[in-house]
Amino acid sequence: MCVIVGEMEDVRPWYENCRVFIAPTRFAAGLPLKVCNAAAVGIPVVATDLILTEPGWQRSPVLRSGTSAADFARSCVEAYDNEAVWRDPRATQLDLVNQLDLVNKCFSRSVFDAQLERIFGA
């Protein structure tokens, strides 16, 4: 079943009932915040290669992608069927620690401020 809910004030109730967060993005710019948010709360993610490469993430059992439509669909099914991954969010979070650390190192406020200072010379 697919439900389109539109803008939400708090997505936690939806995340608490999800097995997998799917991000079939073909065009994007910037940091994929929805994917980072889902990963941060321990939901396995299936995203396109575009979304994985933007923050510099690598594929893992809880962070999957596909290079073709068939590969992407297969990754979605595998993630959904992998009970060991979605049943224990702590294991998912542990596997994502390095991925999220990379996001923090690349996109933190201090990094942003340093880049602005470098560009505009404070």
State the amino acid at position 74 in one-letter form: R
Strands (E), the chain: 21-23, 45-47, 63-64
The per-residue pLDDT for 97 is 67
What is the spatial distance between Cα 79 and Cα 108, in angstroms, rounded to a whole number? Answer: 29
Q: Are the C-beta atoms of 53 and 25 separated by less than 8 Å?
A: no
Mean pLDDT of 101-114: 77
Q: Are the C-beta atoms of 24 and 68 separated by less than 8 Å?
A: no
Residue written as tokens 């893992």?
60
Mean pLDDT of 63-68: 86
pLDDT more than 70, % of the chain: 82
Answer whether residue 55 shows pLDDT above 80.
no
Tokens matching residue 81: 């069927």
CB count in 10 Å sphere of residue 27: 6
Q: Are the C-beta atoms of 77 and 69 separated by less than 8 Å?
A: no
What is the spatial distance between Cα 52 and Cα 35, in angstroms, rounded to a whole number? Answer: 9
Answer whether residue 90 shows pLDDT above 70.
no
pLDDT in tens, 4-17: 778 888 888 888 88
Answer whether residue 50 shows pLDDT above 80.
yes
Mean pLDDT of 71-78: 92
Q: Please give the mean pLDDT across all residues of the chain.
A: 80
The per-residue pLDDT for 77 is 92
The per-residue pLDDT for 67 is 84
pLDDT more than 90, % of the chain: 9
Question: Which strands make up the sheet holding 63-64, listed edge to edge?
Answer: 21-23, 45-47, 63-64
